[in-house]
Structure 1
Amino acid sequence: MNHKAIYSLSFHITGHSFERERERESSMALFLDFIFPAPASLFLAAMTVIGVTTSALGGISEATGKNIQYSKFLNAGAGDISKETKISSRAGMLLVYSPSLAAAALASFAVPGFAVAGRCLLVRIVLSLHFFKRVFEVLFIHQYSGQMMILKPVITISMAYCINTVTLLYAQYLTQDTPEPSFDLRNAGIPLFLIGITGNFYHHYLLSKLRKKDEKGYKIPTEGLFSLVICPHYLFEIIGFLGLALTSQTLYSFSWFLGTLFYLMGRSYATRKWYLSKFENFSGDVKALIPFVF
């Protein structure tokens, strides 16, 4: 190969490399138009990867029958649960949500100067409303089957929620004095959050009305979007977390949304499979999570 051919080939390869580099830079610039730049925090980077990975694996485990043992899946795990420490369902669900509510509500007191105004305050309010609704439902809406909850998964779920809440608040705190993203998504995020929290509450209310006083068994829900999917409360929860991510616009908030999506897809698939196995009259046309699709 002569010198001209070598030079031409080298220029061709180098040109392609520059082009790919420009494309990567362009994609990154477009991405940064929608979110705050990731802070130089090894902790946040690790939590982002860990959160999405563990949630995705959790969703796969749910879909393949290795369910977290609460509600209708209390006896789904392997082994004898008779020796496990248990608490009432109401106490268990309070333990799941209360620490996160406290973390969100008290964030401004724990960190001086945090969430005085602006986006940080808005994110703290959204998180507080989310977990306040959960605690309210536990105390005044949910009707319980009478089954106890195993303490171990209760503590695991509670820690996961609380760690996610604190980490998201910390990620938001680090955006203070940082230039806002070019596209402000709060005007889409707040309505989506309100739609999510309202739809989730409404379908939890419908579930609570299935059981008459002193009834403990499970029934097939049919009102609301239950006629189309067996887990519309999960669907609206996902919408709510998308609204939170758009309101926050941090990389971690989007990772929490993706983790929630992956996990609830697996949990809803397992729930539909459970209904099909327990009720002969359960319609196969009812999907797991997304009407007419999944």
Structure 2
Amino acid sequence: MWSLLLLLAAAVLYPAPAWLMAMSALSFAWVASLGVSELRGQHMPYSKFWHAIVVSGSGQKKRAERLLPSRAAMLMAYTPALVAAAAAFAVPGAVEGLRAQLLAGALAVHFLKRVLEVLFIHRYSGSMPLNTALLISSSYVLITVGMIYSLHLAARLPDPPVNLLYPGMLVFAIGIAGNFYHHYLLSKLRKGNNDDKEYKIPKGGLFGLVACPHYLFEIAGFFGFAMISQTVYALAMASGSAAYLAGRSCSTRRWYKSKFEDYPDRIKALVPYIF
């Protein structure tokens, strides 16, 4: 079994130095652990799962830490990674060859889409701790720079026997389009103002089959990055992101079931008919 996996990895991945293999393993473990935390109900402090309040000794509620409006916080989370991906084209030797250029371009498109969604698509009514926004922002920057740099290290190595570059571009395109479409459907659940905090059961697209089709397509986008770059680090990030979003999808489905008595049992968490 292990021999088969090693042969498969050698066929589709660039070889990586030991330190990069270790960093990839640690990065996967950290991101995947967030998915386990989601399953346990220990959510990151943002979105509908979290309330940024604590109870003081006198029994009065107060803010736990400095909060930002959600829109400003999400812009802070995504914009630095967009800048990092775009800046790679200005750094001499950072994106050598078509594969590196397509990877950096895909990362830039991914985060540009997120920034535009924050500005024009998503509706917000809450807050996010400044520390959380900074943590998410730094994580995305590290992931972006790590993917570009890991492919830079492989620039002068022989290409893997199986070329996944163009299939990866297709998977990425499907992922980003499907993610945007389902984000658009979610935005239509709110009324015309950002103060509307009423939640509804999403409809349309794949929402009739899974609770979080936007996460399913986001996972596809990350595996698109992995296929474009064919590096161990990108594969580790895609796998870790899949584990995290799987945990978050389960939490979302559980939340819908708790809020809506008529939420259909047939709707799975992430993968239609399966999971």
- What is the TM-score of this pair, normalised by structure 2? 0.92
Q: Is the 8 A contact 2:94 2:149 kept in 1?
A: no
Letter in 2 for 1:31: A
SS of the residue corresponding to residue 95 of structure 2 reads: coil
Gaps of 5+ in 1: 1-19
Query: Which structure's residues are more often helix, by fraction?
Result: 1
SS of the residue corresponding to residue 128 of structure 2 reads: strand
Shift of 1:46: 3.3
Partner of 2:154: 175
Tell me, yes or no, if structure 1 residue 218 matches structure 2 residue 199.
Answer: yes
Q: Which structure has the larger Rg over C-alpha atoms?
A: 1
C-alpha distance in 2 between matches for 1:94 and 1:46: 31
Gaps of 5+ in 2: 56-60
Deviations along 1:156-202, whole A, 9 cap, x unmatched?
11111111111111101111111111110112111110000000000
Deviating 4+ runs (over 4 angstroms): 76-81
Tell me, yes or no, if structure 1 residue 45 matches structure 2 residue 21.
Answer: yes
Alignment of 1:237-252 (within 5 A): 237-252=218-233
Letter in 2 for 1:202: Y
Q: 1:49 to 1:279 in 2, by over 3 A?
A: same
C-alpha distance in 1 between matches for 2:174 and 2:111: 15
Letter in 2 for 1:46: A
Q: Is the 8 A contact 1:103 1:166 kept in 2?
A: yes
Q: Which of 43, 49, 64 matches 1:73?
A: 49
Q: Which of 100, 104, 107 matches 1:120?
A: 100
Partner of 2:212: 231
Alignment of 1:21-170 (within 5 A): 24=3, 28-39=6-17, 42=19, 44-75=20-51, 82-110=63-91, 112-144=92-124, 146-170=125-149
Q: 1:240 to 1:247 in 2, by over 3 A?
A: same
SS of the residue corresponding to residue 63 of structure 2 reads: coil
Q: Is the 8 A contact 1:74 1:149 kept in 2?
A: no
Q: Which of 200, 205, 208 matches 2:187?
A: 208
Q: Is the 8 A contact 2:179 2:214 kept in 1?
A: yes
* Range moving further from structure 2, 152-161 or 98-107: 152-161
Shift of 1:29: 4.2
Q: Is the 8 A contact 1:107 1:114 kept in 2?
A: yes
C-alpha distance in 2 between matches for 1:152 and 1:219: 30
Q: Is the 8 A contact 1:108 1:116 kept in 2?
A: no
Shift of 1:58: 0.7
Identity of aligned residues (%): 46
Tell me, yes or no, if structure 1 residue 196 matches structure 2 residue 175.
Answer: yes
Q: Is the 8 A contact 1:193 1:243 kept in 2?
A: yes
Alignment of 1:265-280 (within 5 A): 265-280=246-261
Q: Is the 8 A contact 2:37 2:43 kept in 1?
A: yes
Q: 1:191 to 1:83 in 2, by over 3 A?
A: same
Q: Is the 8 A contact 1:141 1:208 kept in 2?
A: yes
C-alpha distance in 2 between matches for 1:228 and 1:254: 27
C-alpha distance in 1 between matches for 2:169 and 2:53: 38
Letter in 2 for 1:28: L
Letter in 2 for 1:208: S
Shift of 1:114: 2.2
Across the aligned residues of Structure 1 and Structure 2, the Cα RMSD in angstroms comes to: 1.9
Q: 1:127 to 1:82 in 2, by over 3 A?
A: same
